[in-house]
Every structure is written in structure tokens, then in C-alpha cells.
Amino acid sequence: MTRRLTAEALGTAFLLATVVGSGIMAERLAGGNTAIALLGNTLPTGAILVVLITVFGPISGATFNPAVPLVFRLRGELTNAEAFQYTVVQVVGGVVGVVTVIIANLIFELPAVSWSTTARAGSGQWLGEFVATFGLIATILGCVHRAPERVAVAVGLYITAAYWSTSFANPAVTVARAFSDTFAGIAPGGVAGFVLVQGAAAVMALGAMNALLGAVDSADPRG
């Protein structure tokens, strides 16, 4: 269990370091072109997810996202204690990620801590975040059910696509990105709304996928 929790914390920290570091560099190199900056942030994020899930998946499951232990607890695949421990170490990983944000800011000669001023709130933003998180959980559950060896690539590709709706789909990433005042950030006042929507989307995705996958199994002679 110690190895699993360490892998979750380390993987979450690497993910956050990549998201924020690539966001800062992308914004610097894009010359004011937001589309190019977003592309420069998207590709490293999708790529690092494939790498991290491939490396840490056999150790911990490589969730790196508090919404995922919630879903697997509701599925009965984690105990209350395990889900709680996963959540705690992901929060710790988020704290480490905040430290990497500070380091990244210093590397790029920015203020060590700079709260994001990018406002993300309102029904449109929340709906987009709901859809993105719902799709992420559906992707994970669908792959775990029939093609677990494809989870890393599927999640990396899904997040690469979802990034273009500026979605986070991850409470740990949402919190950490409040510490970086770049185009990829989120103002602290918007964090709670995003996290609540992410949790609701995860639970609803679980219900939908249980129904869909159960129907597939009942109609498939292979079981």
C-alpha cells in the first residue's frame, strides 16, 4: 500500500508540473496567439498522461485524480480506507505540484506565487466541465471493462481532446492551477464550483456506464 500511495503522489506531482510548466512556456512562445499557446499546453499534458499511466499503472492504478478513487469506491473495488488514503496522497501530490508551480515560476522569472486571475465560472463553464469529467470517467471505465491495456493511450488522447474546451476534469489539477496566473489558470473563486461539478459528473458517469456495460454483457455470449 505504501508503494501504491507513493506512486499516486509522485504521479500527481509530475502531472501538475507538466501542466503548469508547459502552460508557462507555451504562453511565452506563442506571441499572444492563444490557440498556439493552448496547443503547446495540450500536447505535453496528453503525452505525460500516457507516460505516467504506463509507468505507475501497474503499481497503483495511476488515477492521479480524486474523482477516480471516488468512482472505484462506489464500485466496491476500493475500501473506504483505501479511497481515503488515495485522496489524501493526491492532495499531497497537489501540494507538491504547487511547489513545482513555484519553482516553474522562478525558472521563468515570474513571481513565485501568482494567484490566477482567469475567471472560470457560470453555467457554460460548469456544463463544459461536467461533460469533460463525465467523458473521462466513461473512458476509464469502458477501457477497464474490456481493454485495460489501452487505458493510458485512451486517457491521454481524451484529455488532449478535452483540453480544447479548456476543461480540467480533475480536482487536484483544478486546485493547483489556481496558483499560476497564466491562460491555463483558474481564479481561486472558481475552484469550488469546478470541484463540485467534477464530483457530480463522476458519480453520474459511473451510473451511466454501469447500465451501458451491463447491457453489453447481457447481450454478449462471451459474458
Backbone phi and psi for residue 156, each to the nearest 5 degrees, phi listed first: -60, -45
DSSP codes of every residue in 50-89: HHHHHHHHHHH----STHHHHHHHHTTSS-HHHHHHHHHH
Of residues 184 and 73, more confidence is placed in 73
User: In the CATH hierarchy, which fold is given to the domain comprising 2-219?
Assistant: Glycerol uptake facilitator protein (1.20.1080)
| pLDDT confidence band for 172 (50 / 70 / 90) | confident
- Do the Cβ atoms of 118 and 183 come closer than 8 Å? yes
Q: Are 159 and 45 in contact (CB under 8 A)?
A: yes
**Could you give phi then psi for residue 126, rounded to 5 degrees?**
-70, -40
Question: Which residue reads 505525460 in cell numbers?
Answer: 48
DSSP assigned state of 149: G
HSE of 185 in the Cβ direction (CA atoms, 13 Å)? 21
Residue 221: pLDDT over 60: no
Cα-to-chain-centroid distance, residue 106: 24
What does pTM read for this prediction? Answer: 0.87
Report the chain's mean pLDDT, rounded to a whole number.
87
Q: Please give the average per-residue pLDDT across 16-44, as a whole number.
A: 88
Orientation of helix 191-219 relative to helix 123-146, angle to 10°: 40
What percentage of the chain reaches a pLDDT higher than 90?
A: 55
Neighbours of 148 (CB within 10 A): 11
